[in-house]
Amino acid sequence: MKRLLAIVMSATLALSAFTPALAQGAQIAFGGLKHDSSLPIEITAEQLTIDQSDGSAVFTGDVLIGQGEMRLSAAKVRVEYVTGEGSTGEISRLHATGGVTLVNGAEAAEAVDAVYTVTSAQVVMTGSVILTQGQNALSGDRLTVDLTAGTGQMDGRVKTILQPGGE
C-alpha cells in the first residue's frame, strides 16, 4: 500500500510540471528585458499634439517607440516631460494605451495599458497582460518590470504555461 501511494504521489508531482500553474503573484527573471534607460528615445506616429500648458505631447496612430533594442507600440502614447525651472525637455514618463506591445530580445509583453517611468527605468503594464519568454507564457492583471535589474513581478490571478525541456 505504501509503495502504491508513493507511485501515485510521484506521478502526480511529475504531471504537475506539465500543467498550467495558477498563483496570485509571480517573480520573473527578465534577462532580455534588462535595458539601459539612458539611451535616446525615438518615436514615430501618424499624428502629434503638443500641450505647452502641462508639458506633454500626445502621439496617436500606429505609435512605435524605440530605445536601444527595446520597442514599444500602441495606438496612443502620452509623453510627459520634466517640468520646472531649468528643465531641459527630458522625458519623465510615457503612458501608452490601446494594444500595447513591449518587445526586447526574445521576450514580449502585451497589455491594454503601460506606463514607462524613464527616471526609475520601470514599466508597469495593466489589463490582460500576456508575457512570452521563448515558448513559455505568463498572464495576469499587472506586470511590473525593473529594466535596470532585469526583473519583474506579475500579479492578479497569474497563469503560467511552461513547456517541458527537450530530450
110-132 b/e (C-beta count within 10 Å ≥ 16 → b): bbebbbbbbeebbbbbbeebbbb
Which of 159, 127, 143 is CA-nearest to residue 33?
143
Given a contact cutoff of 8 angstroms between Cβ atoms, the answer to whether 94 and 113 are in contact is: no
> How confident is the model at residue 97, as a pLDDT?
97
Mean pLDDT of 64-74: 92
- For 35-66, what is each residue's pLDDT tens digit? 677 888 899 999 999 988 888 899 999 999 99
- For 130-149, what is each residue's pLDDT tens digit? 999 888 899 999 999 998 88
How far is C-alpha 15 from the geometric centre of its chain's CA atoms?
30
Domain ranges, ordered by start, for the chain: 20-161
Beta bridge partners of 70: 67
Beta bridge partners of 46: none
Report the percentage of the chain scoring pLDDT > 90: 45
* DSSP annotation of 162: -
φ, ψ for residue 8 (rounded to 5)?
Answer: -65, -45
20-161 CATH fold: lipopolysaccharide transport protein A fold (2.60.450)
Beta strand pairing call for 42-44 and 21-29: unpaired
Which range among 4-8, 81-85, 86-90 shows the weakest confidence by mean pLDDT?
A: 4-8
- For 91-103, what is each residue's pLDDT tens digit? 889 999 999 999 9
> How confident is the model at residue 26, as a pLDDT?
56
> How confident is the model at residue 147, as a pLDDT?
86
Report the percentage of the chain scoring pLDDT > 70: 76
Confidence (pTM): 0.76
Separation between Cα atoms, residue 135 and residue 60, nearest integer Å:
32
pLDDT category of residue 155 using cuts at 50, 70 and 90:
very high
Separation between Cα atoms, residue 96 and residue 99, nearest integer Å:
9
Separation between Cα atoms, residue 69 and residue 72, nearest integer Å:
10
Q: What is the DSSP string of 106-138?
A: TEEEEEEEEEEETTTTEEEEEEEEEEEETTEEE
| pLDDT at residue 89 greater than cutoff 90 | no
> How confident is the model at residue 17, as a pLDDT?
33
Could you tell me the three cell numbers for 124? 508597469
Mean pLDDT of 4-26: 34
